[in-house]
């Protein structure tokens, strides 16, 4: 059959768009009913998550006598900030010490993780995979299993108890997760050609890391800094073994504030809110970069 005898397809069939398939079962989220169900579920989840925060806030604004009479769910009949003043007076020294712990831990462990991740991903050497596996092995060791020998090692090294010891311990235990994050980030986002170009220009490993890699590492640093800051700030197990109420972080002071025989619930609730404010602010300020940094190291471009 010659080309001249072929009849063209009707224009209606050419321009006809395929009909959108309706989902089999379930609710179409683009429909008004689907959006209503989605928003309803989100509101339910929000209420469930916000209930503990509501109890904390409402209870912290009551007097100790009113808590027993009015309960925890009702709004206070007489608003008072006496519990907040008591909690802040008790937690202020440890609040400052915890910043002295969390900030160095976040910066030091992130810097070590960036160096390790760069070497293990782009500056290969014999046995790099074995070294990376051994580093990751530290992530799966329970803290409780090594707490007593770790305390003995710290004492033999001669580190003073309190914040210096906790900085050392958190930096060591933060190396595996920071190395994993930066290794995945460099392996998926930094082109090999960039490293080769720096070698051609005569840059060594340290010069390449400082001049080429670190300026591109902001997403990775956001993730590791938030992770390490939060871990160090919220830690209680290391703190109870390596410090005390006089030289420890805020979690130890919060436990002492709660008491044992006659706890002050209003002051404890206020102290819990004060303790959680720094990490909450960190996530509010850096939250969108945190998600972006996690995604940057997960998919190869």
How do the pLDDT tens digits run along the chain, 301 residues long? 444 454 555 554 445 555 555 555 555 557 788 888 889 999 999 999 889 889 889 988 888 777 767 667 788 888 888 889 999 999 999 999 999 999 999 999 999 999 999 999 887 788 888 989 898 888 888 888 888 888 888 888 888 888 999 999 999 999 999 999 999 889 888 888 888 888 888 888 888 888 888 888 888 898 999 999 999 999 999 999 898 888 999 999 998 887 766 778 888 899 999 999 999 898 888 777 777 666 665 555 4
Secondary structure of 116-127 as H, E, C letters:
HHHHHHCCCCCC
φ and ψ at residue 17, rounded to 5 degrees: -90, 145
Q: Does the predicted model carry a pTM greater than 0.85?
A: no
Judge whether 169 and 242 are in contact, CB under 8 Å: yes
Q: What angle do CA 37, 39, 43 make, to 5 degrees?
A: 115
| Cα atoms in the 13 Å half-sphere on the side-chain side of 55 | 10
Write out the CATH class of domain 82-296. mainly alpha
Tokens (6 digits) for 80:
């008072």
Alpha-carbon distance 269 to 82, whole Å?
12
Alpha-carbon distance 183 to 224, whole Å?
12
Residues of the chain with CATH 1.10.3720.10: 82-296
- Confidence (pLDDT) at 78: 82
Alpha-carbon distance 130 to 179, whole Å?
14
Tokens (6 digits) for 73:
């769910």
Judge whether 239 and 101 are in contact, CB under 8 Å: no
φ and ψ at residue 300, rounded to 5 degrees: -80, 125
Judge whether 242 and 161 are in contact, CB under 8 Å: yes
- Confidence (pLDDT) at 301: 44
- Confidence (pLDDT) at 293: 66
- Count other Cβ atoms within 10 Å, centred on residue 136: 14
Tokens (6 digits) for 165:
């010891």
Q: What angle do CA 166, 174, 285 make, to 5 degrees?
A: 95
């Amino acid at each position: 059959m010659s080309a001249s005898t072929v009849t063209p397809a009707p224009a209606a069939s050419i321009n006809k768009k395929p009909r959108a398939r309706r989902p089999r079962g379930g609710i179409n989220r683009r429909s008004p009913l689907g959006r209503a169900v989605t928003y309803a579920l989100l509101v339910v989840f929000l209420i469930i998550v916000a209930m503990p925060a509501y109890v904390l806030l409402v209870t912290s604004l009551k007097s100790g006598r009113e808590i027993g009479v009015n309960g925890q769910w009702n709004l206070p009949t007489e608003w008072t900030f006496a519990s907040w003043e008591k909690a802040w007076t008790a937690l202020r020294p440890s609040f400052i010490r915890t910043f002295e712990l969390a900030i160095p831990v976040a910066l030091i462990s992130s810097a070590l993780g960036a160096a390790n991740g760069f070497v293990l991903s782009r500056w290969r050497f014999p046995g790099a995979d074995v070294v990376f596996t051994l580093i990751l092995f530290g992530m799966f060791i329970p803290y409780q299993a090594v707490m007593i020998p770790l305390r003995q090692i710290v004492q033999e090294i001669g580190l003073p108890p309190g914040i210096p010891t906790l900085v050392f311990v958190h930096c060591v235990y933060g190396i595996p997760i920071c190395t994993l994050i930066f290794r995945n980030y460099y392996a998926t986002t930094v082109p090999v050609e960039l490293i080769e170009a720096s070698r051609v220009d005569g840059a060594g490993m340290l010069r390449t890391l400082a001049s080429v890699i670190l300026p591109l590492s902001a997403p990775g640093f956001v993730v590791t800094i938030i992770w390490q800051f939060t871990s160090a700030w919220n830690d209680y197990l290391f703190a109870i073994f390596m410090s005390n109420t006089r030289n420890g972080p805020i979690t130890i002071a919060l436990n002492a504030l709660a008491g044992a025989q006659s706890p002050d619930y209003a002051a404890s609730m206020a102290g819990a809110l004060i303790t959680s404010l720094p990490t909450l602010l960190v996530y509010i300020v850096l939250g969108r970069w945190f998600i972006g940094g996690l995604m940057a190291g997960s998919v190869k471009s």
